[in-house]
């Protein structure tokens, strides 16, 4: 009986030491986690302003100027850029859109309470962001933005005149 108790105790100590050691050791036979798929880097052609969704497949190739790499939509653009790079450098710098003062649909005049959830989305025109109350308003606005901007400005003038 005494031998049995000692054998069980030794077995218990062995298992108690082996389990944590096995858990701490990396699994050699386990497959490695797959690497996260990398999104291809995009760029804008400095000559025509065309979006290049994947620079590794830029049709016009690339060129380095003053330590920066520029990508091109075609070989003609690359040739134009290499002749006069300073003329085209500013085109690749995206200008941030100005913050909108009001969140009123320019087409329908509807108030949009939360611009982050504007049902019709948004569009940037001449540096200003416009939000839309429904999906039909955005295409109408983009078709003739000046018409709707003028309409908004007139409504704002009337509102200001009425509050004074």
Query: pLDDT tens-digit profile of 19-54?
Result: 565 555 555 555 555 554 455 577 788 887 777 878
Q: Which of 92 and 145 is assigned the larger pLDDT?
A: 145
pLDDT for res 47: 84
Establish if 29 belongs to a structural domain: no
Indicate if 49 and 88 belong to the same structural domain. yes
Indicate if 47 and 88 belong to the same structural domain. yes
Residue 70 near residue 52, CB atoms below 8 Å: no
Establish if 25 belongs to a structural domain: no
Establish if 32 belongs to a structural domain: no
Burial 125-159 (b: 16+ CB within 10 A, else e): eeeeebbbbeeebbebbeeebeebbeebeeeeeee
Establish if 58 belongs to a structural domain: yes
Indicate if 88 and 119 belong to the same structural domain. no
Confidence of residue 101 (pLDDT cuts 50, 70, 90): very low
Listed in order, strand segments (DSSP E) in the chain are 43-44, 51-52, 62-65, 68-71, 122-125, 128-131
Beta pairing partners, 98? 128
Beta pairing partners, 51? 44
Tell me, yes or no, if the pTM score tops 0.85. Answer: no
pLDDT for res 48: 79
Establish if 14 belongs to a structural domain: no
Establish if 145 belongs to a structural domain: yes
Tally of domains in the chain: 2
pLDDT for res 103: 74
Domain span at 86: 43-92
Listed in order, strand segments (DSSP E) in 26-149 are 43-44, 51-52, 62-65, 68-71, 122-125, 128-131
- Mean pLDDT of the 139-158 span: 88
pLDDT for res 39: 52
Average per-residue pLDDT for the chain: 77
Establish if 24 belongs to a structural domain: no
> 22: part of which helix (H) or strand (E)?
helix 2-24
Establish if 34 belongs to a structural domain: no
């Amino acid at each position: 009986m005494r031998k049995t108790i000692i054998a069980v105790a030794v077995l218990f100590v062995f298992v108690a030491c082996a389990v944590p050691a096995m858990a701490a050791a990396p699994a050699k036979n386990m497959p490695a986690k797959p690497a996260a798929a990398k999104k291809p880097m995009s760029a804008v052609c400095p000559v025509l302003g065309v979006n290049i969704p994947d620079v590794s497949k830029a049709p016009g190739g690339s060129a380095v100027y003053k330590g920066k790499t520029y990508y091109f939509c075609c070989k003609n653009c690359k040739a134009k850029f290499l002749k006069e790079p300073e003329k085209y450098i500013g085109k690749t710098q995206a200008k941030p859109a100005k913050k909108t003062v009001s969140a009123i649909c320019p087409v329908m005049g509807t108030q949009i309470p939360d611009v982050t959830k504007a049902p019709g989305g948004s569009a940037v025109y001449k540096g200003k962001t416009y939000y839309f109350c429904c999906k039909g308003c955005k295409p109408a606005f983009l078709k003739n933005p000046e018409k709707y901007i003028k309409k908004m400005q007139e409504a704002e003038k009337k509102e200001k005149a009425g509050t004074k």
